[in-house]
Structure 1
Amino acid sequence: MAKRRKVGNPLALAVLAELVAEPMHPYEMGRRLKEHGKDRDIKYTRSSLYMVVEQLRKAGFVAEQETVRDTQRPERTVFALTEDGRRELDDWMRELVAEPQHEYPLFGVALSLLAVLPPAEAVDLLARRLDALTAQVEEIRARVATATEQGVPWIFLIEDEYRRGVQEAEQRFVAGLIVSLKEPDYLRTWQQFFGSRT
C-alpha cells in the first residue's frame, strides 16, 4: 500500500532527483527537467515548480544553500537536498519501482463508459486513436534512435522505452476491441440495452 507522503506530487520526486546531482535554483531545475525530457512524464509550470520547492523546503527535504546575486538577473536562491530529502527520495523510488499502484488513466474511464456510444461511432473513434498511437510509437522510436546515435546511455531512455511498450500494448488492445465491437453478438447486446441508436 502506498505511503502518504508529506509532498506527494510527482514533480516533488523529480526535484529531489535533480538535486542529487548538485544544489540548484528552481529555474535551473526546470531547465534540466525539460532538457532531460522529464516534461513528457511530469506536467508542471514555472509557478508549480516554485510551489513544490517551497513545499519540499517546509517538509525539510530541501534547504536553502545560498542566495546568488547577479547584476543582470534577479536574486536567486539555490536549494540543496537534505539528508531527510535523500531518505524520502530513496524510500519513494523504492515504493514506486517495486509496488504496482492502481492508477486512473482517462482512457480507462472512457472504456468503462464506452457502451453509451453507438458501436459504429465507437469503432470510428477507436480507429482514430489507433492511428494516433501508431504515430506516437513511431515518434518515440525515432527519438530513441536519435538519442542512441548521439551516445545517450540506455538508462536515460528507459521511460521512452516504457512509454513505447505501453502504447504498443494499447495498440494491440484497441485493434482487438475494434474487431470485437463489429461482432454481431456485441451489436445485438448493444441494441438490446441502448435501443436503435446507430
Structure 2
Amino acid sequence: MTTAPVKSSPLGLTVLVLLHHRPLHPYGIQQLLKQWGKEQVVNVGQRAGLYRTIERLQAGGLIAVRQTERDQQYPERTVYEVTDEGRAVTREWLEQMLAVPKAEFPVFPAALSNMLMLEPDEVTPILERRAAHLADQRAALEHLFTETPPGMPRITLIENEYLLAVLTAEERWLQGVLSDLRDGRLTWSREMLTAFEEASSQAE
C-alpha cells in the first residue's frame, strides 16, 4: 500500500529535523521548538496545528510511533521517530526551501494594494503604528543576539539574522513611505483615481 505524498511546510520540516536528533512526543517537540527559539519562524502557538502536522507526517510514512510512554504524573504520550523515507524527504524539502523562492502571499502587501480605499491622512497614523511594532520586533531580535552565549556557532541563529535583516529593510522602506505621505509626495484622491480609471478605459 502506497502513501500519498506529504505537502512540505515549515512546521513539518522543523518537526522532521527535531526527530533526526532523537525520538520525541508532541509536547517534547513543542517545548524543544520554543527552547531553540524556532517560534520566530514556525507557528507553534497552537498545539492543535502541531498535532495535525504530526498526523500528516505519520500518514505519509515520514515518521512512525516509536513507543508509548505511561507515567502516573502525565497522560499517555506517544513517542515518534523519523523513518528512512522521512530522512530522505527532509533533505529534499530543505534543499527545495533553501534554493527556490516560493510565491507566498503575506498579509501586508495585500493590504498595501488596497490602501487606496483610505485617505492619505488616515493611512499615515496606521502605518506609524506598524513602524512602532517593527521597531519593537527589531529590538527584541537584537536583544536575542546580546543574550547569545559567547562562542555559540553563528548557524544556530542564522534564521534570526535573516529576520533582523528583513525587519530592518522593511522599517527603512516604511519610514520613507511615511516621509512621502507627510510631505505630500505620496498622495491620492477619489477624483485622481477615477480620472486615471477613465483614461485607462479610453486607452483600451
User: Quick one: distance in 2 between partners of 1:141 and 1:191?
Assistant: 45
Equivalent residue of 2:147, what SS? helix
Identity across the alignment (%): 34
Rounded to whole Å, the distance in 1 between the matches of 2:35 and 2:165 is 23
Q: Distance in 2 between matches of 1:114 and 1:127?
A: 14
Residue 145 of structure 1: aligned partner? 146
Corresponding residue for residue 65 of structure 1: 66
Question: What is the CA–CA distance in structure 2 between the aligned matches of 1:32 and 1:110, rounded to whole Å?
Answer: 34
Assess, with a 3 A threshold, how the Cα gap between structure 1 residues 185 and 177 changes in structure 2: closer, same or farther.
closer
Number of residue equivalences = 191
Equivalent residue for 2:32? 32
Deviations 1:150-196 (A, max 9, x none): x532211111111110010101111111223345464366652279x
For residue 147 of structure 1, give the secondary structure of its aligned residue in structure 2.
Answer: coil
The residue correspondences of 1:84-163 to structure 2 (distance < 5 A) are 84-149=85-150, 151-163=151-163
Kept after mapping to 2: 8 A contact 1:67/1:76: yes
Match of 1:187 in 2: 187
Distance 1:116 1:182 in 2: 18
Give the structure-2-normalised TM-score. 0.84
Shift of 1:51: 2.2
Larger mean CA deviation between 12-21 and 178-187 belongs to: 178-187
Task: Please state whether the residue corresponding to 1:103 is helix, strand or coil.
Answer: coil
Look up the match of 1:20: 20
Normalised to the residue count of structure 1, the TM-score between the two structures is: 0.87
Unaligned runs of 5+ in 2: 196-204
> Which letter maps to 2:104?
E
Counterpart CA distance in 2 for 1:163 and 1:185 is 30
Structure 1: gaps of 5 or more residues: none
